[in-house]
Amino acid sequence: MYLINSFTRITDVALSTGEMAGILQRVAELIRVCKHMDNNRAGGNNFLADSRFIKDDTNRDMIYDVHKISYSLPNYYSTQKLLNDFSFLINKNAKIWIKGVSGSGKTSLIRVLSQLWQHETGYIKCEAKRGQILRLSQTPYFPCGHLSLFQQISFPATGISDSLEKTDNDYASIIKILNELKLDWLIERCEDTLTQSEQQRLAFARVFYQQPQLVILDESSSCIDLEIEEHIYQLLISNNIGFISIGHHPSLVKFHDKMLHLNGRGSYTVRSLKSFNQISTTDITNIISSNEYSSSFNNLENEIENFDFKYELIYDNFNKKNSLLKIN
């Protein structure tokens, strides 16, 4: 009986070793990528998928040069391209609103730009150095451990020492930023007790402290009040920080110069939003708080996007009839 139990334990060890080997392979790949990023820290983040598209001229104001990229979901089950032959130029002080229905590929585009997902064709050229582009998600990430508020705001620092060796001016700057975001009382509270709105505002404190060239906002202000949201965007503009916003809220219209609309079937449209920059937050608040919010919002979307919704209705009805015929 003892011998059988021993052989069983040996078999279990073999299975655990096999699982551990797969995990170690992923950890080794992560370490390799991190070392590669550290070696390129002083330089730019140029990454090209096709050398045929390399340009000799360099635009000093350019951050991203996207040329005819195509991509789909990174699995073997989806052949539908989320975006096809997409070309776009993102300069410093950009104010771009990415819009589209859920599942149209808005966040996927950010992942492709961030090199988290691979694109199939074309190239992406990035002239910004490491640390000059920050990305904020809807649910901010705060590192675990006994970290100070200062260390949370200075994240992502490359080491704890980078967060500790600061001057009085740095602390004064953070206190000023917290006051601007109406978070001056935050020093006495723990992050576990923060609301979603407070967490999102604390994430913006990182942006204003680190002063990147570009910040990518993936519904990063979805839980913030309209008045504070407007103040945050005004601070981004006054600090010459470019931004790319993903969101559905109509209050985002007035802060952006361009709207990139993705339909989720591979195509996209770009439209100027400069004519909407004069919309007041009060008007937006009145629209949202009114009983006719739904119809007002739809009218605003129609005015902004200028799409042929009749075609969409015909397309949906055709699919529904097709489904009914298959069922019958």
Model pLDDT for residues 147-188, shown as the tens digit of each residue: 777 888 888 765 444 444 566 677 788 888 888 888 877 765
Given pLDDT bands bounded at 50, 70 and 90, which one contains residue 45?
very low
Bridge-based pairing of strands 95-99 and 242-246 is: parallel
Residue 317 has pLDDT above 80, yes or no: no
Residue 4 has pLDDT above 90, yes or no: no
Q: Which H helix or E strand runs over 270?
A: strand 268-272
Bridge-based pairing of strands 95-99 and 81-91 is: unpaired
Over residues 71-88, mean pLDDT: 80
Over residues 286-298, mean pLDDT: 49
Bridge-based pairing of strands 268-272 and 258-262 is: antiparallel
Candidate ranges 96-100, 190-194, 321-325; pick with highest mean pLDDT: 96-100
Residues 151 and 191: their CA atoms lie apart, in Å, by 13
Q: Which pLDDT belongs to residue 179?
A: 84
Residue 262 has pLDDT above 60, yes or no: yes
Residue 198 has pLDDT above 60, yes or no: yes
Q: Which pLDDT belongs to residue 69?
A: 92
136: burial class by Cβ within 10 Å (0-12, 13-18, 19+)?
buried
Q: Which pLDDT belongs to residue 64?
A: 92
Given pLDDT bands bounded at 50, 70 and 90, which one contains residue 288?
very low
Q: Which pLDDT belongs to residue 214?
A: 94
Q: Are 68 and 122 in contact (CB under 8 A)?
A: yes
Q: Mean pLDDT score of the chain, rounded to an integer? A: 75
- DSSP one-letter code for 47: B
Given pLDDT bands bounded at 50, 70 and 90, which one contains residue 285?
low
% pLDDT > 90, the chain: 18
Q: What are phi and psi of 297, to 5 degrees?
A: -65, -40
Over residues 91-95, mean pLDDT: 90
Residue 43 has pLDDT above 60, yes or no: no
Q: Which pLDDT belongs to residue 7?
A: 66
